[in-house]
Structure 1
Amino acid sequence: MPSYRRVITAVCVFAPLLYIYWQTILVPDTRKSFRSWNLAEKEDAFNDTLGLSKIFVINLPSRKDRRDAMSLAGAVSNLTFTWIDGISGGQVSDHDVPVRRGIHSSLGAKGSWRSHINALQSIIREDLTSALILEDDIDWDVRLKSQLRTFALASRTWLKESKFDKHRTVQLSLEASTDSEIYHAAYGDDWDVLWLGHCGADFPDSQSLISPLRIEVPGDETVPAPKHLKPHPFALNDKLGELYPPHTRVVHASSGNVCTLAYAVSRQGARKLLSQFDDHYDTQWDLMLQKWCEGEYAVETKSRLNSRIKDDRGAIHERGGSAPVCLTVQPPLFSHHYAKGGASNIQGQGGGYAKGTGTPYIRLSVQQNIDRLVAGARQGEMVDQLPDDGDTIWK
């Protein structure tokens, strides 16, 4: 056989073998890579439910505009929402609201209270480990998941340190985090409420019923400059900006929190809250939750420690007891979005007279960057609505 034919024969024999080797060994199987990535995403504790069992969004059926806006914001943030129909004040009868004598409240506040109680009942009924409860007019940063990774580490640190010296500030070391802690421990154990979205909070002092321990997160680029740290135009600037260097975030026990824009509740927290509030209504829901988190109801009911109540699953729980474990963060990770012409269904911060559009505390706002996110823009192409050298959103 001529030499050139032997060469051609060898090429014909070995070329297919080389191709098979190249495809199976040297080049990754893109389908296998996708499956592995998808599995990793599913196992990631901060995937579509942010390390919790579910994310509930309370939405009045009449406010389809808000549902549409939240649905889109959730989609571009890779979040999965479970909707809970909000209750209007007119749907709440006197029999449904166990109002104490002398207590008067708006219809909107009563409807909000009933809606949040229904969300808590869903946690118990579905036997969820935990859930995040959101109102439907809020906003968050496009970097929310990385923010919550940091918050989760701070939460675990607070829960550990609070067992020892409570009267100090701990500076968080981000290097202390491990994947196993993030994926499997999430926000730590034995907490009742994580108040992640509010319209303002105070730092607890040593005279209160709750721990004054603070976990400091310095150099957080997602935190606005001090001049931007105020929930509405008629409020004073937050003390956070006076007490700490710029771009510092602080995690501590909930104190003076107002607005239940976003808060996570554990299974034990939901049981405690339903046990406490099944037979009375004091005022609007955020102020009731504030008072509960600060341990005031525990003091009031100390004489009734032996009183017991069944939840809707038939389990019996003790009333009263020690102060709940509620953690919050300043500035908040979720905030009220002031849309053009928007208004709250209950009396909001600023009394409805707040001028300006945007979201306080949130720099790379999802709502303000929604068109860019839909178009697939990268993080570096997002608009910072609260730059250090820029104007505040309030007119």
Structure 2
Amino acid sequence: MNLNMGAVRNPPRHVTFGAVAFFIIVLFVVFTPRTPHLDVSRLQSSTGSAAPPAAAAAPAGGKTSSKTSSSGSGSAPAAYKSNAEKLYGNDYHGHSSPSDINRVTNDTLGFSKIFVVGLPERSDKRDAIALTSSLTGFHVDWVDGVKGESIPDKAVPFGTDRKKLWESNLGSWRGHMNAIRRIVEDDLESALIMEDDMDWDVRLKPQLERVAQGARALLGSKSNPASPYGDDWDILWLGHCGEVFPELLDENKGKPADDKGIKYMQRKFVIEKDATVPPLDKVTGLIDFKASPEHTRWVHITGAPICTFAYALSQKGARKVLFDLSVDHLNGPFDNSLAWLCRRAVSSVGAPEEKAGDRGLDTKCLSVTPPIFFHHKAKGMMSGDSDIQTVADGAVREKGVTENIVWSARNNIRNMIMGTRMESQYEDISSSKSS
């Protein structure tokens, strides 16, 4: 047998290269970390909803839908997509596009400050706000509420009939005005103001990512705005008892479809399949929720909200409110007066100069419906529900409840502390195990 020993000792070059390449591939496969398989159906069941899709840009006078679109300007917060990340607290930093929207997840929710207005003696409410805000990942500053009896007649604004306005309403007005004045005095770019009995969903930060996308879309925000919510709004109404869309207000019903004002006030950013919206038979408000798919939320031009549970003001918005509800006049309770400012503004868009009046100081107001902040009725004495009105004196509530909130932060304090499964207020929306 004639063996070519040189060939055995020195294999062909292509054989050598092939062996080396195979060896490298084996090392890559063995030592590369594995990415866990993502079971979308399992995650949707765990969070109670499919991942909210991207948001498309809004046409003038039209609706912005949150349906997935290849031309969409935003993307769904990834916290809805993965059960490996907590949906609340300081560790959640957002996954929105453009990325600067993620600033809504900071410890002031994308505003310069968060003020809570409440009477100092209501230590029960302060304890609850301290816990829920800390556990869901933001910091608040307190503004002491005011009792109406402490306000002298000479400090009451022009146009106010003190005899018709309850002293508690007058005190509520002054407490809110003190918070608003802080925005002006401290030259804050913006601030969120809320009342001391507020509740919100544990998933507040992912909610606000979508609200910010909507606010930008509706008012055509420039790129790289100073605020993650855009720079062209004055009032952002995040918590209220309910409101109708502005085109349904009496003064706007008869306007033609091509009216400039109607086109403006019909703008809506629609968030579909929102797991944080209650089912149709539980959601409350003043619009016909059953005319739209279940679990729908809107960011829209403000009509005339009832209640000032939670609202944000920009610097220019705070100046307008301080003038219109204090320095110039005051015609009624604070919430009605603030709503009237927005209503005058939206109803005057496109109106002839002679019919526009003061144009509501051209105040640009946006609302979220259903709201993402709502008044919590705590367990215990029902008389503690309100510092303005006497409520069910002597009656006791066995379990706290909040309308329009699915995973109530107040009702899930224990679960957030213990890291256990979140409790839904509604049986048909499944809860998620926090991580």
TM-score, length basis structure 2 = 0.65
The alignment partner of 2:153 has SS state of: coil
- Indicate yes or no: 2:261 matched with 1:212: no
Give how far 1:239 is off: 2.6
- Indicate yes or no: 2:340 matched with 1:291: yes
The alignment partner of 1:274 has SS state of: helix
Q: Deviations over 1:250-273 (max 9, x none)?
A: 111111201111000000000111
Q: CA RMSD in A?
A: 3.5
What is the alpha-carbon distance in structure 2 between the residues aligned to residue 107 and residue 220 of structure 1? 40
1:376-395 matches, within 5 Å, as 376-377=419-420, 381-388=421-428
Give how far 1:216 is off: 1.0
1:80-229 matches, within 5 Å, as 80-100=139-159, 102=161, 104-160=164-220, 185-205=227-247, 208=252, 211-229=265-283
Identity of aligned residues (%): 39
Match of 2:112 in 1: 53
What is the alpha-carbon distance in structure 1 between the residues aligned to residue 131 and residue 236 of structure 2? 25
Residues 386 and 75 of structure 1, relative CA distance in 2, 3 Å threshold: same
What is the alpha-carbon distance in structure 2 between the residues aligned to residue 114 and residue 295 of structure 1? 22
TM-score, length basis structure 1 = 0.71
Counterpart residue type for residue 125 of structure 2: R
Residues 78 and 109 of structure 1, relative CA distance in 2, 3 Å threshold: same
Of structures 1 and 2, the larger Rg is shown by 2
Residues 223 and 202 of structure 1, relative CA distance in 2, 3 Å threshold: same
Give how far 1:321 is off: 6.0
Residue 273 of structure 1: which of 297, 305, 321 is its match?
321
Residues 240 and 124 of structure 1, relative CA distance in 2, 3 Å threshold: same
Residue 250 of structure 1: which of 293, 298, 317 is its match?
298
The alignment partner of 1:271 has SS state of: helix
Counterpart residue type for residue 264 of structure 1: A
Residues 352 and 329 of structure 1, relative CA distance in 2, 3 Å threshold: farther
The alignment partner of 1:156 has SS state of: helix
Give how far 1:346 is off: 1.5
Match of 1:360 in 2: 403
Q: Deviations over 1:283-332 (max 9, x none)?
A: 11100000001126997xx89x9xxxxxxxxxxxxx86653111001110
Give how far 1:62 is off: 1.2
Deviation beyond 4 Å, 4+ runs, structure 1? 40-43, 296-299, 319-322, 348-356
Give how far 1:100 is off: 1.6
Match of 2:414 in 1: 371
Equivalenced residue count is 313
Residues 78 and 99 of structure 1, relative CA distance in 2, 3 Å threshold: same
What is the alpha-carbon distance in structure 1 between the residues aligned to residue 150 and residue 204 of structure 2? 35
Give how far 1:388 is off: 3.1
Residues 276 and 101 of structure 1, relative CA distance in 2, 3 Å threshold: closer
The alignment partner of 1:228 has SS state of: coil
Q: Is the 8 A contact 2:104 2:209 kept in 1?
A: no
- Structure 2's unaligned 5+ residue stretches are 1-31, 33-89, 95-99, 253-260, 431-435
Q: Is the 8 A contact 1:259 1:286 kept in 2?
A: yes
What is the alpha-carbon distance in structure 1 between the residues aligned to residue 373 and residue 160 of structure 2? 35
